[in-house]
Amino acid sequence: MSKHSLAPLTGTPFECQRQGPRLRSPASCNTAALERSPRSTADLHMCGIVAILEVGGAGSVSRGLLDRMAQAIAHRGPDERGLWVEGPIGLAAQRLRVVDLATGQQPLANEDGGIRLVANGEIYNADAVRRALLAGGHRFASRTDTEVILHAYEDDGPACLDRLEGMFAFALWDGPRRRLVLARDRFGEKPLYYARLPHAFLLASELKALLVHPDVSRELDSRALVHYLAHEYVPAPHAIFRAVRKLPPAHYMTVEADGTETIERYWVPPRPTGPAPPAPEAAEEVVGRLRRSVASRVLCDVPWGCLLSGGIDSSLVTALAAEASSAPVKTFAIGFDEPTYDERRYAAAAARTLCTEHHETVVRGEDAAGLLPEVARVFDEPFADASSLPAVLLSRLAREQVTVVLSGDGGDELFCGYPTQTAHRAAEAYRRLPRLARRAVAAAAERLPTSHRYLSFDFALRRFLRDAARPAIERHLRWMGSFPPEGQARLLAAEAQREARLADPYATAREAVAAWGPETASDVATALDLLFYLADDNLVQADRASMSVALEVRAPFLDRAVAEYALRLPAVLRRGLWRTKPLLRRAARSLLPARIWRRPKHGFGVPTGAWLRGPLRQLAVELLEPGRLRRQGLFDPPYVSALLDRHLRGVANHRKELWTLLMFELWAGAYLGG
């Protein structure tokens, strides 16, 4: 095993500590390697997009400004840049070519040039949509998958979104109607930020492109700050800067030439309908749909592979990808030097079983201090999911070998895979205990010694008991987050409290859940996981980490056919009594050995508690220094100092709260200059 140093997060090739490939031929595994499916006729590509609309006849778009905004997200599509400007409208795209490498330049135009388009993402059913459009008389100028959006829009307007299967964010200029149309995919795999200015409307794949515009203010949005402190991320439609918003998933927006805006939802996740099919039948259907989804996502003219943790989701995707490949699949894993957090042995075992060409690396605590400032710059907004650090490094490891990877994102949300599902059932039982018994349990929990091991019992029990008696929505968000309202009342400095006093950190989540109409605590958990956590945490992390090095991540579980089938199944089929994902485990039996599908969920944990007491101690002390916080004026220095002191002395585990503050300060250093 060779040892190398981790390079800075610049998108250039980096060296890492890697275990040599574990590779056996498919024949030696006694599995029949299937030939790769015929290649699509679509030009699939990832990119970043930018648009400027000067509203109300304010003037013409500056081509130079548009170019500079596109340059800010060149990492998303380093192969080429395309710009189109005509009077008050300008569109730009940064392109990463994946299939049919010679064509498909953006912006695209329809037959008469009246409609122009820039798009980020993939339309997986582009061939089927193209055939229908050709039959209707449309002519195509390229093989790009995104051209189907143009012609489908010509036929159906925004209703064309129902025809599209994929991950996407796009901006379309409808010249005849003098209207800008923008849209995001159903689950939010691809991002879209926008800003309203007095005389212009701006949009971009990442916030950093909007910040290039001289009129976009960096004034903090106090409501967004409250959301960040509560959830560890800023949920749509909020953005950390007051001038900026995010288009929510499954929505489209129209902006008229005079600046009038409308936002509409075009898809709602289905609810369970009808009687439950037999579990074996449902499991077989899930495998069939997932197999077709994987097959549609391994079509490309560049090297591809799979992110493999050794858990059931990524292992199932990798097994199906191996079926669709005539060569061993490249797989990638990451681990930690803290043993209770390290999943590499599970990933390696799955790789041996599935005959993959396996690559792995290790995150060491001593490397984190130098890497975290760069990770904070990758994410445009403060983002405190600690797995963002290994996600960035895993993306770099994969990008050394491939341009496209498949992931298991969405499996937990669709098939009730998170421990909170079990926690909600335990909470319902706990609430039925006599008050005296509950007090005794809580007192005993407080006497437990503090541990910083992965999923330490004392940490999990204290968080569970603290909020178990609350309504399902609130306790779920409190379990997952950092600073609840009463915590923020102590954390925020006086002026910051005055600005944020009307902000409810749970309002956005309540609105999202209410629209879905959950009936049980388990339904609430699924709704929050799918509509809130997946879109604004997991998929944000996947997009920013991967696109920082121009790596494309595809999520087969988020195929519409897979997701809608799963969500229409009664929850009792998808959730277990005390074990997660029973249906998916059953589905995996025909593809994976029992040691994989029986293994309890581990999760992508990061040893932040131990790091903060060890290799990150000095960084935390410097960033959370009372004088620095006092000058910043957002957080109460004595309260923060008390949190840090108790954690460093080992008498409490405040890792979530401290990590949330640490990542905010690192982000502020990158985007606020302090």
Phi, psi (rounded to 5 degrees) for 571? -60, -30
φ/ψ region of 574 (left if φ > 0, alpha if ψ in -120 to 50, else beta) reads alpha
Q: Is there a catalytic annotation at residue 416?
A: no
**How far is it, in rounded angstroms, from Cα 637 to Cα 627?**
8
- 201 has which bridge partners? 53, 196
**How far is it, in rounded angstroms, from Cα 127 to Cα 85?**
30
**How far is it, in rounded angstroms, from Cα 397 to Cα 395?**
5
Q: Yes or no: say if 597 and 313 are a contact pair by the CB < 8 Å rule.
A: no
Name the token pair of 337. 């030097």
Please choose, from the candidates 244, 234, 193, the residue with its C-alpha nearest in 3D space to the C-alpha of residue 505.
Answer: 234
User: Among 16, 47, 306, 355, which one carries the catalytic annotation?
Assistant: 47
- 265 has which bridge partners? 251
The secondary element (H helix, E strand) that includes residue 231 is: helix 222-231
Radius of gyration of the chain (CA): 24
3-state SS track over 26-94: HHHHCCCCCCCCCCCCCECEEEEEEEEEECCCCCCCCHHHHHHHHHCCHHHCECEEEEEEECCEEEEEE
Name the token pair of 91. 């569109």
- Alpha helical stretches, state H, 404-517: 411-414, 419-431, 435-446, 457-467, 472-480, 485-491, 494-500, 507-516
Please choose, from the candidates 474, 439, 440, 449, the residue with its C-alpha nearest in 3D space to the C-alpha of residue 653.
Answer: 449
Give Dmax over CA atoms of the chain in angstroms: 76
Please choose, from the candidates 43, 159, 30, 38, the residue with its C-alpha nearest in 3D space to the C-alpha of residue 98.
Answer: 43
Cα three-residue angle 314-318-323, rounded to 5 degrees: 155
Please choose, from the candidates 92, 174, 105, the residue with its C-alpha nearest in 3D space to the C-alpha of residue 146.
Answer: 105
**How far is it, in rounded angstroms, from Cα 308 to Cα 306?**
6
Q: Is 184 helix (H, G, I), strand (E, B) or coil?
A: strand
Q: Yes or no: say if 46 and 547 are a contact pair by the CB < 8 Å rule.
A: yes
φ/ψ region of 75 (left if φ > 0, alpha if ψ in -120 to 50, else beta) reads alpha
Give the residue numbers annotated as catalytic, written as ranges: 47
